[in-house]
A and B are shown apart, each in its own frame.
Chain A
Amino acid sequence: MKTGLIAKFLLAFVATGILVAAAAEFFIERQLKADLIRWVEDEMTAEANIIALMPMEEIAKHAVELAERTRSRLTLIDAQGRIIADTDLRDIEIDSHLNRSEIQQARLKGNGSSIRYSHSLKMDMLYVAFLLGDQKRPKGYIRLSRSYQEVTGPINQLRKTVRQNLLLAVFFSLLITLLFSLRLISPIRKLAAYTEKARMGNIAGQIRIDTRDEIGTMAENINTMVDVLNEKIRNADEERRQLQAVFSGMVEGILVLDPCKRIETINRGMEEIIGSRAGEIVGRTLLEAFRNIPLHDALERFRATREKVVQEITLEDEHPVVLDVTISAVQGKDGGEQKTMLVFHDVTRLKKLERIRTDFVANVTHEIRTPLTAIIGFVETLQQGAIDDRGKTLQFLQTIHENAQRLNRLVDDLLILTGIESGETGFHPDWLSIDGALDQALTVVAERISEKRLKLIKELRQDLPPIRTDGDRLTQILLNILDNAVKFTPEGGTITVSAFPGAEQDLIVRITDTGVGIPKGEISRLGERFYRADKTRSRELGGTGLGLSIVKHLMKEHQGRMVIESSPGHGTTVSLHFPYVQEST
């Protein structure tokens, strides 16, 4: 393309030059030839005319001289066409010359001319013939002839000159064209290079062309265009980056399906939801990636109706995840094939909370109703006459009392829990040793420990640092844990209380029992209110189902945590981690 334009210019110029020159040569040559022939013929006719004044004998006698003077070959022919004299006759031509065209013309008109090939001279000749005598009684003919080269010689000479000049002209015009086109082409080349760079997406600066012609205008336009384009690209880039940020920053998982139902892109939220498999699902179909029937059905429903579909699905990996999926169309260019967008909202936690809430309401009603039913039942029995039986009355009153107390405990626990949760009953921390609270808690359960003949082992290091805590709260925590340990350990079991500094700047109080233990699946739910691992037994033992819940909240106030490990049938270990809180004041 780069040499193209120049080559085209040059070719056009050369072609035009040659064409013009050829035309000129053709016409000039034709004209010149005709003129020259006429001129030579005229001259020869004039000479023949003069010679004709002489008598034939004289002519024959002076033929050689006459021929020399007229620079022609002279032939004298008698009326019968026989040659009388010829100045340049190499072979004697014996045939009649009357049939020669110039002679025939002369016999009819008085003179004639022709251009013929002479067999005797072996060359093209120009003949002029003149009639001697008059047309009625011709005496003979004078014929002058000259070589045709007399005409073609100058013409060839001219042609040669013209061609030489032409070559020179073409050469110079080529040179001029080259210079001109180079000048013309350089800004075009600049433009081409610039637009090529722009095409590759590498636009830097503007193009500078100083000509004031159309190319200059074009450069100006390109500059403006590039500016506008740059601006647009910058805007689009910015927009894209913002969208990208939103896309990847969203907590919701987003998954885009291409028109062939393959997964095209997923965002970081989606990667987090599906975990380790994230890398391999792109390019697969939903079924391949998730193997989830409700999800597939929802997609099919969406494809059938093209209306937004909302569906709850459960992905069953190691940890089941409950997801709300919203399927909607991504509006493509008009008429183009549509992509589909799936937004996954992780509602696992929400579902759990919902279950806890409904469980709580159901539990609290149940917990309150059980003792109330007992109380009402016994009171009614008393009213209906049992009050007269003193023994029964005392027994019933005892039961009523127990149930009332249970209700009381429940309400107390609920109040404590609510208090802690709302933060109303203030937390008054102080630097305290663990010993005091532990002793207090142990005193409360001491009686029951000895009743069940449990073995209590205390492994307390003497140099334990004090922790930042509220004495009453600490007692409550320890009491609740110990209470559970005592409750769920069968007679003759062992309870071990130990305290030692932990690895993470904390103090660990560990209470281990040899009780019934807790199934693995239940441990995570133990902090929930009213959640009981073993429902019947716990209630029999007088638990409210709130103890561990209270501990959990209290530990949160201490900025600590509670870890429960257990193996069913062997016992449970509760570890309380109290951090050494750095008090800033």
Chain B
Amino acid sequence: MEEKRHTSAEYERELREIKDGLLYLGAMTEKALEKGSIALLERNSELARQIVCEDDQIDQLDVMLEEKCIRLLALRQPAARDLRFITTAIKITGHLERIGDMAAKIAEKILILNDLPQIKPYIDLPRMVEIVRGMIRKSLDALVRGDVEQAERVRQEDTVIDQLNDQIFRELLTFMMNDPHTIQVCLYIMQISKSLERIADHTEGIADMVIYMVTGKVVRHQPACVENK
């Protein structure tokens, strides 16, 4: 996105601070998910506890960012493009904060899972985490560059996550039917999978906001158009 200079350097700086804040928050949530993946695979409970603790930080950042946005709205009375950016930023921080919460929830489930016997090596869950992390990264990339195509790709990837979620569900169902002892573990795994699916939805929300910010078009609540290229 080409960046026009504002007459007021101070205003310019404040806008950039908001953008940087969003990226920082995004990087934190992404990191939380990465740690979650490691905590799950290596059964590292210490790491999982760390994630739960770090969620407070994410929450604080969210509040701070939102305050900054509102301050800017009140003091500078931005118009057009800047107004769209700031309102978008407020929504995106909300999404990121929710992602952080989800990551913390996942970490709590991992803590429990790590104390239970493992029924099979995790294969689909780490894949999901990888894809979701990629989605967060890409949606923020789209924000940085104002790249609508990238945002559109994120929206399309959401369907992959939905499929993986269903797949995990079916697989766990067979496990539970075979051996009722696995039900507890399976339910926790399902919750994790569900949380990941929710995170993917939030990244889709971010992508929607990026599209709105750049083009002014509202694509929320519309299915992603999957192009066959």
Which residues of chain A have a CB within 8 Å of any CB of chain B?
260-261, 280, 283-285, 287-288, 291-293, 296, 316
Beyond A284-B144, A291-B26, A293-B31, 15 additional contacts (C-beta under 8 Å) are A260-B13, A261-B16, A280-B145, A285-B16, A285-B19, A285-B20, A287-B23, A287-B24, A288-B19, A291-B27, A291-B30, A291-B137, A293-B27, A293-B28, A316-B34
Contact of A296 among B24, B30, B140 (CB under 8 A): B24
Check A291–B13 contact: CB distance below 8 A. no
Q: Within residues 109 to 147 of chain B, which ones have a CB less than 8 A from any CB in chain A?
A: 137, 140, 144-145
Q: Within residues 14 to 38 of chain B, which ones have a CB less than 8 A from any CB in chain A?
A: 16, 19-20, 23-24, 26-28, 30-31, 34
Check B144–A288 contact: CB distance below 8 A. yes
Bound Cα distance A94, B91 (Å): 116
Shortest Cβ distance from B9 into A: residue: A260
- Give chain B residues whose Cβ lies under 8 Å from the Cβ of A296: 20, 24, 27
A–B Cβ pairs within 8 angstroms, 6 of them: A291-B23, A291-B137, A292-B27, A296-B20, A296-B24, A296-B27
Distance to closest chain B CB from A314 (angstroms): 11
Distance to closest chain A CB from B59 (angstroms): 16
- Give chain A residues whose Cβ lies under 8 Å from the Cβ of B140: 291
Shortest Cβ distance from A293 into B: residue: B27
Q: Top 5 nearest A-B pairs by Cβ distance?
A: A287-B23, A288-B144, A291-B27, A287-B20, A293-B27
Which residues of chain B have a CB within 8 Å of any CB of chain A?
3, 12-13, 16, 19-20, 23-24, 26-28, 30-31, 34, 137, 140, 144-145
Distance to closest chain A CB from B98 (angstroms): 19
Shortest Cβ distance from B26 into A: residue: A291
Distance to closest chain B CB from A494 (angstroms): 28
- Give chain A residues whose Cβ lies under 8 Å from the Cβ of B13: 260
Bound Cα distance A288, B146 (Å): 12
Shortest Cβ distance from B21 into A: residue: A287
Shortest Cβ distance from A280 into B: residue: B145
Check B23–A260 contact: CB distance below 8 A. no
Shortest Cβ distance from B30 into A: residue: A291
Distance to closest chain B CB from A257 (angstroms): 13
- Give chain A residues whose Cβ lies under 8 Å from the Cβ of B20: 285, 287-288, 296
Distance to closest chain A CB from B112 (angstroms): 28
Distance to closest chain A CB from B36 (angstroms): 15
Check B24–A293 contact: CB distance below 8 A. yes
Shortest Cβ distance from A297 into B: residue: B24
Shortest Cβ distance from B140 into A: residue: A291
Distance to closest chain B CB from A348 (angstroms): 19
Bound Cα distance A260, B12 (Å): 10
Bound Cα distance A285, B137 (Å): 16
Most chain-A CB neighbours within 10 Å: which of B12, B20, B26? Answer: B20
Bound Cα distance A285, B17 (Å): 10
- Give chain A residues whose Cβ lies under 8 Å from the Cβ of B34: 316
Distance to closest chain A CB from B127 (angstroms): 15
- Give chain B residues whose Cβ lies under 8 Å from the Cβ of A284: 144
- Give chain B residues whose Cβ lies under 8 Å from the Cβ of A293: 24, 27-28, 31
Bound Cα distance A296, B31 (Å): 14
- Give chain A residues whose Cβ lies under 8 Å from the Cβ of B12: 260
- Give chain A residues whose Cβ lies under 8 Å from the Cβ of B3: 283
Shortest Cβ distance from B16 into A: residue: A285
- Give chain B residues whose Cβ lies under 8 Å from the Cβ of A280: 145
- Give chain A residues whose Cβ lies under 8 Å from the Cβ of B27: 287, 291-293, 296
- Give chain B residues whose Cβ lies under 8 Å from the Cβ of A260: 12-13, 16
Distance to closest chain A CB from B135 (angstroms): 14
Bound Cα distance A285, B13 (Å): 12
Distance to closest chain A CB from B130 (angstroms): 12
- Give chain B residues whose Cβ lies under 8 Å from the Cβ of A292: 27
- Give chain B residues whose Cβ lies under 8 Å from the Cβ of A285: 16, 19-20
Distance to closest chain B CB from A142 (angstroms): 95
Distance to closest chain A CB from B26 (angstroms): 7
Bound Cα distance A291, B26 (Å): 8
Bound Cα distance A6, B31 (Å): 77
Distance to closest chain B CB from A179 (angstroms): 55
Bound Cα distance A291, B133 (Å): 13
Bound Cα distance A284, B143 (Å): 12
Most chain-A CB neighbours within 10 Å: which of B19, B23, B27, B30? Answer: B23
- Give chain B residues whose Cβ lies under 8 Å from the Cβ of A287: 20, 23-24, 27
- Give chain A residues whose Cβ lies under 8 Å from the Cβ of B26: 291
- Give chain B residues whose Cβ lies under 8 Å from the Cβ of A288: 19-20, 23, 144
Most chain-B CB neighbours within 10 Å: which of A280, A284, A287, A316? Answer: A287
Bound Cα distance A293, B61 (Å): 13
Shortest Cβ distance from B136 into A: residue: A291
Bound Cα distance A246, B3 (Å): 32
Shortest Cβ distance from B143 into A: residue: A288
Bound Cα distance A283, B16 (Å): 12
- Give chain A residues whose Cβ lies under 8 Å from the Cβ of B31: 293
- Give chain B residues whose Cβ lies under 8 Å from the Cβ of A316: 34
Distance to closest chain A CB from B55 (angstroms): 15
Shortest Cβ distance from B22 into A: residue: A287
Bound Cα distance A293, B20 (Å): 11
Bound Cα distance A287, B30 (Å): 13
Distance to closest chain A CB from B51 (angstroms): 14
Distance to closest chain A CB from B30 (angstroms): 8
Distance to closest chain A CB from B126 (angstroms): 13
Bound Cα distance A291, B28 (Å): 9
Shortest Cβ distance from B12 into A: residue: A260
Bound Cα distance A287, B12 (Å): 17
Shortest Cβ distance from A296 into B: residue: B24
Bound Cα distance A284, B1 (Å): 11
- Give chain A residues whose Cβ lies under 8 Å from the Cβ of B145: 280
Distance to closest chain A CB from B24 (angstroms): 6
Bound Cα distance A299, B140 (Å): 21
Distance to closest chain B CB from A23 (angstroms): 59
Bound Cα distance A293, B24 (Å): 7
Bound Cα distance A293, B27 (Å): 7
Bound Cα distance A261, B26 (Å): 19
Distance to closest chain B CB from A523 (angstroms): 20
Bound Cα distance A158, B101 (Å): 110
Bound Cα distance A234, B224 (Å): 60
Distance to closest chain A CB from B133 (angstroms): 10
Distance to closest chain B CB from A109 (angstroms): 89
Distance to closest chain B CB from A274 (angstroms): 14
Bound Cα distance A135, B31 (Å): 135
Bound Cα distance A172, B27 (Å): 87
Bound Cα distance A6, B13 (Å): 54
Bound Cα distance A284, B20 (Å): 10
Distance to closest chain A CB from B65 (angstroms): 13
Bound Cα distance A86, B77 (Å): 102
Bound Cα distance A287, B13 (Å): 14
Shortest Cβ distance from A287 into B: residue: B23
Bound Cα distance A285, B27 (Å): 14
Shortest Cβ distance from B20 into A: residue: A287
